[in-house]
Amino acid sequence: MMDSSYTVLDLFSGAGGLSLGFQRVGFKIIQAVDNSKPAISTYNYNLGSHIENLDLSQDYQFPHVDVVIGGPPCQGFSSAGLRKINDARNSLVERFSRIIAELKPRAFIFENVEGFLTSEHGNKVVDLLDPLIEVGYKIHLRKVNAANFGVPQHRKRVIAIGGLGWSPSFPEYTHTAYGAPGAHLASQELPLTPSVMEALADLPAASTSAPGIVQGHFFRKLEGLELKRALSLAPGQSMKDLPEELQHESFRRRAFRRVKDGTPSEKRGGAPSGVKRLKPNQPSKAVTGGMQGEFLHPLEHRPLTIRECARLQTFPDDFLFFGSIADQMQLIGNAVPPLMSEIIARSLFADLQKYMFKSDLFIEGEILSFVPTLSSGFSPALKQVIALVKQRYFKQPIIERLPLWD
């Protein structure tokens, strides 16, 4: 850990995945904010008593800090569930930006789900960028896969990194990942991302009763139809590979569901593939709040434990989660993987060491890079967002400034 006087405000902190990564590098978290009791209890136990229970839809006086970090609640536009256009939580993206615009920290970090890009036809991107560019932030906005930062899961997320009047770098990938579309395009010469079994290898045997030898390392035994499904699924197989009599009724109802134009329909909900057994030699699918009901252990006929899900998110075993089982899984599923946060924080720390900062100096804000996908193919919805960003923020052709993909 580096010695630092750089101070941080963590908005919508949740369990504290972002804060943990920044603390490891040496940043000082002055204040964290959330309004979930399980999140506050979890953060307070593991990271410190500087967290406060605040409703960020209201106005507050925040301390001046060097860096603001956070991820406004994503449920309004997450592709993992029902998309609600008028979800009030969506407006918290703009609130996040306006808090930064008022405080004018040296830098900010924003994290959200990949569905953020196409939410409301790209208007949420505008909500994020407009207030920040107006006051002088130079910003990278990119979709990344956490697996390319060594996190043992394919977790696609949108990251924005901005500097006030100076140009921050975007952290370099550290790992090559396989097992998800486009993952290998980020890098092919780096070390391989750890697999599920590599991430879980040194855990003791899971218990059938709480709390487990390691907190959260216990599972509910499967019985009846659930056990029959588990016994029938090989690694990589999902509900669609089961005989019809073993398929869940809700899966059969959604069997011919289609996602049009890259945007989930209003009827989309739940896990697209139903229950699935993870592959032992690849990174996991994305950890979500409903993962225990969706994914089976690669080798054992049981769901993953809370601790195994936390491991896949790169939380250390001594990081304890509070609340009900559902609360703990939601905290883990919503968190930024601490390993990815640490890599981002280390890159930002190095930048802050190099750049002089003058709060009274105004320099025009701009988009430094916009990478909405590494794939060469775009859905109609994403094409619309690319056109919007190009027209609104780029004064010269976007392809000339920075390729959208490598």
How far separated are the first and last CA of the chain, in Å rounded? 33
Cβ contacts of residue 117 below 8 Å, gap of 6+?
A: 125, 143, 158, 372, 382, 385
Cβ contacts of residue 186 below 8 Å, gap of 6+?
A: 144, 145, 148, 173, 176, 177, 374, 406
In three-state form (DSSP H/G/I as H, E/B as E, the rest C), the secondary structure along 340-371 is HHHHHHHHHHHHHHHCCCCCCCCCCCEEEEEE
The closest alpha carbon to 382, from 404, 354, 352, belongs to 404
Show the tokens assigned to 26.
Answer: 């040496």
Residue 252 CB neighbour total at 10 angstroms? 12
Residue type, 306: I
Q: Find the farthest-apart pair of alpha carbons in the chain and give their distance in angstroms, rounded.
A: 69
Show the tokens assigned to 262.
Answer: 């890259």
Active-site entry in 9, 15, 68, 74? 74
Question: Strand 51-53 to strand 28-34: parallel, antiparallel, or no bridges (unpaired)?
Answer: parallel
Instruction: Output the CA–CA distances (angstroms, integers) from residue 10 to 14, 27, 135, 309, 386, in the order listed.
Output: 9, 11, 20, 23, 29
How many Cα atoms sit within 13 Å of 121 on the Cβ side?
Answer: 3
Per the annotation, the verdict on 309 as an active-site residue is no
What are the residue numbers of the active site?
74
